């Protein structure tokens, strides 16, 4: 009895029948429209794509089969008719009524999938983004005896299927009818349908028309014959302006036969930031895939915009971007090599066009040259750099100076450029993007070139020392000046240099700035943190204010005897030297400038009162 009770209380382990997912079609359509597709306009691309794929499938068995797609829009409705392979009633149940199912996966077509545009089996769902009802009438070319079949679906997820008399569709093919959903009628107007069809389908290989207006425009502009090279350049420039809104500096032919790629790259007429992502137009087997392909070219080629057609690159599920895989990586490298070859050709045979290009896009070429030694060697006579001798190429500068000095920041260059130029020291401003990297790489492509970073010590060493007797006589002045600037982490030295009009020069380097920043942080920190920062104190040289003993103003200041006035004048020279170097001012520097200005005003007004 107890045993029976115990057995009866055991849970049942009998097998249960499986359940299938229930799909909320309206929710799925909202998901597609808000997260997969960038715009409702893709519905027309999906319709064109299905029509073109159906024709491709029929022509695989019937090479002479008609290849027509006709679109007609009127009164908030759209009809798209093709002469493709068509569907039987079984196909309709199997393909149209099953979300995610694609005819390209059907048996017998797997080996030919590369001939089709669509690969994901969700294209017809995109029509529900703009339509509340879809009606498909189709007749199969594979099963000649099969009657026409009609499939009608609503956006609530319901559908009906029925066979039709032969007279309803005598020839094989498919016609899709859409009725606009509320708020989406503007997407089914004749004007909008025509514009979208031309945008998406201008390079399609079949006869596509909206009403009586042709959509396709073949061959592609880059594949057409022109009476002369000049005529071709003019035609392609017009094509660029129509697509991208600018007239290009030049046109670069892009061809990668192994990847089935043909197209052009248009060189932008104005400079753009390297960080700005380029938008390229990519057609897949003639159908526009995206206008914003960002990963098509190497990052350094940000100065061109491309339009091309391919039959090998893989689209993402939304078919609005390219799938990042080995093929795309290889194509990117091949297209980059084509642009590199164009640059090399300009350097060898058309220096005027190259100079015009570099005046706008030298930054892109520098970005390429820092990773490509052969490109750096080719561009040495052409790439411009800011130097103390003016804007020169590295080749010209290296020919003039046995040692190529450079600074790593614009601020450092501004500090030393006037004095270095007067002393005959050649300096390159390496503070701009990529410039210091290229200067340092110079010996690798120009053997024997000596490259050295210019620092404060090097500049000071090139300045003339003051006669020891004169400097000794000014020891009191120098002591007062040093005492005033010591809290700012700056030493004062006396030198003689040109130009005479420059009274003072502020020199420091990165190590000195790092040490000053550490000292500033230590002064503002609590005891614990100040102790930690104090333990990090370095032995780097401090910044220095170099006073020009040849300058008349410095001579007058050095003859003063009032320590307070000497300090105020020294602070003024320090502030003026910072401003001349265009250095950003620290709060302590700004306070010093204000204090020195007010101090000089007080001294001037006090002197006038005393004289009165």
pLDDT at 25 over 70: no
Return the top range by mean pLDDT from 28-32, 521-525, 534-538: 28-32
Beta-sheet strands, E only, within 487-610: 490-496, 504-507, 543-548
Q: Please state, as a whole number, how many other Cβ atoms lie within 10 Å of the Cβ of residue 474.
A: 18
Q: Confidence class of residue 317 from pLDDT cuts 50, 70 and 90?
A: low
> In what helix (H) or strand (E) does residue 524 lie, and over which residues does it extend?
helix 510-524
Which tokens in the block code for residue 121? 């089996």
SS3 (DSSP) at 397 = helix
Percent of the chain with pLDDT over 90: 38
Q: What is the pLDDT averaged over residues 250-260?
A: 90
CA distance 209 to 81: 10
pLDDT at 499 over 90: no
Residue 515 CB partners (closer than 8 Å, separation 6+):
489, 537, 538, 540, 542
Q: Give the chain's mean pLDDT.
A: 81
Start-end of H helices in 202-321:
229-244
Question: What are the residues facing 547 on neighbouring strands?
Answer: 494, 504
Residue 211 CB partners (closer than 8 Å, separation 6+):
71, 72, 190, 194
Q: Confidence class of residue 534 from pLDDT cuts 50, 70 and 90?
A: very low
Q: Confidence class of residue 487 from pLDDT cuts 50, 70 and 90?
A: confident
Q: What is the pLDDT averaged over residues 337-362?
A: 90
Q: Confidence class of residue 314 from pLDDT cuts 50, 70 and 90?
A: confident
Q: Confidence class of residue 406 from pLDDT cuts 50, 70 and 90?
A: very high
- What values do phi and psi take at 349, rounded to 5? -130, -10
CA distance 361 to 116: 39
Q: Which own/partner contact pairs does 580-583 have at CB distance under 8 Å and 24+ positions apart?
A: 580/414, 580/418, 580/502, 580/506, 581/411, 581/414, 581/415, 581/506, 582/411, 582/414, 583/411, 583/414, 583/415, 583/506
CA nearest neighbour of 81 among 92, 71, 95:
71
pLDDT at 278 over 80: no
What digits encode the pLDDT tens for the residues 70-106? 999 998 899 999 999 998 888 887 776 555 444 443 4
pLDDT at 605 over 50: yes
> Residue 607: its pLDDT value, please?
57
CA distance 464 to 117: 76
Cβ burial, residue 556 (10 Å; 0-12/13-18/19+): exposed
Return the top range by mean pLDDT from 232-236, 344-348, 499-503, 566-570: 232-236
What digits encode the pLDDT tens for the residues 446-455? 999 999 988 7
Q: Confidence class of residue 597 from pLDDT cuts 50, 70 and 90?
A: confident
What digits encode the pLDDT tens for the residues 159-217? 888 999 988 888 999 999 999 988 889 999 999 999 999 999 999 999 999 999 999 99
CA nearest neighbour of 71 among 153, 239, 234, 188:
188
> Residue 357: its pLDDT value, please?
92
Measured over the CA atoms of residue 170, residue 174, residue 180 and residue 184, the dihedral's sign is: negative
What digits encode the pLDDT tens for the residues 98-114? 554 444 434 433 333 34
CA distance 246 to 271: 13
Enter the pTM of the model.
Answer: 0.70
- Starting at the edge strand found earlier in the chain, the sheet holding 427-429 runs 390-392, 385-387, 427-429, 403-407, 450-453
Q: What is the pLDDT averaged over residues 306-312?
A: 91
Q: Confidence class of residue 463 from pLDDT cuts 50, 70 and 90?
A: confident
Q: Confidence class of residue 3 from pLDDT cuts 50, 70 and 90?
A: very low
- What values do phi and psi take at 407, rounded to 5? -110, 155
CA nearest neighbour of 131 among 175, 74, 178:
178
> Residue 239: its pLDDT value, please?
95
**In contact, 283 and 291? CB cutoff 8 Å:** no
Total count of residues recorded for the chain: 612
């Amino acid at each position: 009895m107890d045993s029976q009770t115990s057995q009866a209380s055991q849970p049942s382990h009998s097998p249960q029948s499986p359940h299938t997912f229930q799909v909320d079609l309206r929710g799925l359509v909202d998901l597609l429209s808000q997260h997969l597709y960038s715009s409702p306009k893709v519905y027309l691309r999906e319709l064109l794509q299905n029509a073109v794929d159906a024709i491709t499938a029929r022509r695989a068995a019937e090479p002479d089969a008609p290849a027509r797609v006709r679109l007609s829009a009127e009164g908030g409705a759209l009809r798209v008719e093709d002469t493709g392979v068509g569907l039987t009633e079984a196909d309709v149940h199997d393909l149209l009524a099953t979300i995610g199912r694609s005819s390209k996966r059907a048996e017998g077509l797997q080996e030919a999938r590369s001939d089709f545009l669509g690969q994901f089996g969700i294209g017809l769902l995109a029509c529900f983004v703009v339509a509340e009802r879809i009606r498909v009438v189709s007749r199969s070319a594979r099963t000649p005896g099969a009657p026409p079949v009609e499939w009608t679906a609503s956006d609530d997820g319901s559908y009906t299927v029925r066979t039709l008399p032969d007279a309803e569709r005598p020839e094989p093919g498919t016609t899709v009818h859409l009725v606009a959903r509320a708020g989406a009628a503007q997407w089914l107007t004749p004007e909008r349908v025509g514009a979208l069809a031309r945008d998406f389908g201008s390079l399609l290989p079949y006869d596509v028309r909206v009403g009586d207006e042709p959509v396709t425009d073949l061959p592609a502009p880059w594949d057409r014959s022109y009476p002369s090279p000049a005529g071709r350049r003019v035609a392609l420039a017009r094509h660029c302006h129509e697509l991208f809104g600018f007239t290009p500096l030049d046109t670069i032919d892009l061809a990668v036969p192994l990847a089935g790629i043909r197209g052009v790259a248009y060189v932008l007429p104005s400079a753009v930031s390297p960080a700005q992502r380029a938008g390229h137009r990519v057609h897949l087997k003639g159908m526009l895939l995206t206008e914003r392909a960002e990963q098509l070219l190497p990052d350094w080629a940000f100065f061109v915009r491309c339009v091309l057609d391919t039959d090998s690159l893989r689209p993402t599920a939304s078919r609005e971007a390219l799938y990042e895989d080995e093929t795309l990586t290889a194509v990117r490298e091949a297209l980059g090599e084509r642009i590199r070859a164009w640059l090399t050709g300009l350097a060898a045979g058309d220096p005027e066009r190259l100079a015009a290009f570099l005046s706008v896009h030298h930054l892109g070429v520098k970005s390429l040259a820092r990773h490509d030694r052969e490109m750096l060697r080719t561009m040495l006579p052409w790439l411009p750099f800011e130097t103390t001798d003016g804007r020169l190429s590295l080749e010209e500068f290296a020919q003039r100076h046995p040692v190529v000095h450079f600074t790593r920041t614009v601020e450092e260059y501004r500090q030393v450029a006037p004095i270095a130029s007067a002393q005959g020291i050649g300096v390159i401003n390496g503070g701009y993007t990529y410039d210091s990297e290229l200067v340092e790489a110079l010996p690798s492509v120009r053997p024997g070139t000596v490259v050295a970073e210019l620092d404060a010590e090097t500049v000071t060493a090139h300045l003339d020392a003051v006669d020891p007797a004169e400097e000794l006589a000014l020891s009191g002045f120098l002591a007062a000046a040093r005492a005033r600037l010591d809290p700012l982490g700056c030493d004062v030295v006396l030198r003689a240099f040109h130009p005479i009009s420059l009274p003072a020069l502020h020199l420091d380097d990165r190590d000195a700035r790092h040490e000053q920043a550490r000292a500033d942080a230590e002064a503002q920190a609590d005891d614990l943190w100040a102790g930690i920062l104090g333990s990090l104190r370095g032995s780097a040289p401090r910044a220095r204010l170099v006073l020009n003993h040849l300058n008349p103003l410095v001579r007058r200041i050095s003859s003063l005897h009032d320590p307070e006035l000497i300090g105020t004048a020294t602070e003024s020279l320090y502030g003026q030297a910072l401003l001349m170097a265009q250095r950003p001012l620290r709060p302590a520097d700004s306070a010093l400038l204000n204090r020195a200005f007010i101090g000089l005003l007080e001294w001037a007004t006090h002197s006038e009162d005393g004289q009165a």
